[in-house]
Structure 1
Amino acid sequence: MKNIIFAIVMLFTFQVGFAQDNSNFLRWEVRARGVGVIPYEKSTVNTIGGKVDASNDFIPELDFTYFFSKNIATELILGTSKHSIKTQGSDISAVGGPTNFDVDLGTVRLLPPTLTLQYHFNQANDNVFKPYLGAGVNYTIFYDVKPGSVVKGLDYKNAFGYAFQVGFDLMVTDRFFINADVKKIFLKTDVTVDASNLATGLNIPANVELNPLVLGMGFGMKF
């Protein structure tokens, strides 16, 4: 993670030094996309075992891109998703339940601003198809936690992660374009389930990797 952040900072510094030499093109892009958020979970659930399952979501997303040069840019994406959370195959026999049970853990919203550094190909003005690759960092904020009817509460730790992306802009005019984008975000969080309503002092810790695949499509404008 530290190496990725250092590389991004160095590339930003390098490109800013040459930004003055590329003044004859539009530096900003703004996009509006519909985005599917598909978690690929890995988890370790202590005490009761089982694995964590998070639902998919479809959300609107807004992003802004700034070009340091015709090929190098940085993108910030803004959007928030809501996921239903449960464990699968947990053993709750210690509190009088079955040995294989799916525990409803309610819902949580994620605010995951993601900053990537991108390389854009085919940037000549007369090219219609303009693909790009990117890599960067993510900071996910967990909020609006609703634990549902089984447990008393949940605590999610906000966390840094990293992201990779591939996408393209399909130019309609010299300013307006259609965009398709795929991101893979690698995200871990520590979760503590307060189940003291089921047994006195019962807290269930878990380490969860959400690692969502983020599929987006929309339109944008250069300015």
Structure 2
Amino acid sequence: MKKVIFAFLAVSFLTLNAQTKEENKTQDFKKWQARLRGIAVIPYESAKIGVIGGDVAISNTFVPELDFTYFFTEHFAAELILGTTKHDVNTVGSNISAIGGPTNYNVDLGSVYLLPPTLTAQYHFSPFAEKVFKPYVGAGVNYTIFYNVDEGSTVKNISYKNNVGYAFQVGFDLMLNEKFFINVDAKKLFLKTDVTVDASNLAPGLSIPADVTINPLVLGMGVGMKF
């Protein structure tokens, strides 16, 4: 699937310049816009956890998000999405009987911040002549950075591997006038990370590997400005 997304982006950007020259001859439009959204980040998480087994739970969060969009033509654009989120993490139903604990236990893994800059190629529709309601679809890639890890009070340390993912997007702009608009947006990010938990404080040499899928749904609403 990642190869499909990369191919889509490459083809989109390669064809945009030719279309831009043609459309610019007959149309006048603002090439930049910026949006400030409030977003709800809802992970659809799962994990394969070594040694102790179980699954993972990652908290939802609500944060501000800033994005910038450049229009190559009136319909084709590229959007860079910037925002960071903090999530609480714990295992679910893990077996820690080997270190004297219960066979079904939720291990507190503290919290972690995610910074997932995302670049999407978009197509913007103009279904009505007055161009007030402007829906769009998009697809792209993100590179997620995990930072400011707080391992909590149970284990010694936790490391998260930064990783490349991909994204799909749908939304619309509702124009208030020629410059300002309201935006509603939904994105689905497909993201995995390798996690290593250092639990040597609980048992000598105990290291717990995990393959974690996050796959958050990002729902946003905000305001924007063309310039």
TM-score for the superposition, normalised by structure 1: 0.97
User: Does 2:208 correspond to 1:166?
Assistant: no
* Structure 1 vs Structure 2 CA RMSD: 1.1
Q: Secondary structure at the residue paired with 1:127?
A: coil
Residue deviations 1:65-90 (CA, integer Å, cap 9, x gap)? 01111111110000000000000100
Q: TM-score, normalised by structure 2?
A: 0.96
Question: For residue 14 of structure 2, what is the aligned residue in structure 1?
Answer: 13
Residue 54 of structure 2 corresponds to which residue in structure 1? 50
Partner of 1:22: 23
Q: Say whether the 8 Å CA contact 1:29–1:65 is kept in structure 2.
A: yes
Superposed CA deviations along residues 94-152 of structure 1, whole A, max 9, x for unmatched, are 01111110000000000000000111001777221100001110110000000000000
**Given the alignment of the two structures, is residue 129 of structure 1 paired with residue 129 of structure 2, yes or no?**
no
Structure 1 Cα separation of the partners of residues 96 and 216 of structure 2: 28
Q: What is the aligned partner in structure 2 of residue 38 from structure 1?
A: 42
Q: Check whether the contact 1:182–1:216 (CA below 8 A) recurs between aligned residues.
A: yes
> Identity, % of aligned pairs?
62
SS in 2 for 1:62: strand
Q: CA deviation at 1:11?
A: 1.1
| Residue matched to 1:205 | 209
Residue by residue, what CA displacement relative to the aligned partner does 1:15-62 show, whole Å, maximum 9, x if unpaired?
023323333110111000000000001110110011010000100000
User: What letter corresponds to residue 126 of structure 1 in structure 2?
Assistant: E
- Contact kept, 8 Å, 1:161 with 1:186, in 2: the verdict is yes
Structure 2 counterpart SS, 1:102: coil
The answer to whether the Cα contact below 8 Å between 1:30 and 1:65 also exists between their aligned partners in 2 is yes
Q: After the TM superposition, which residues 140-155 of structure 1 pair with which residues of structure 2 at under 5 Å, given as runs?
A: 140-155=144-159
Q: Is the 8 A contact 1:70 1:123 kept in 2?
A: no
Q: Which runs of 4+ in 1 moved over 6 A?
A: none
1:2 Cα offset (Å): 2.2
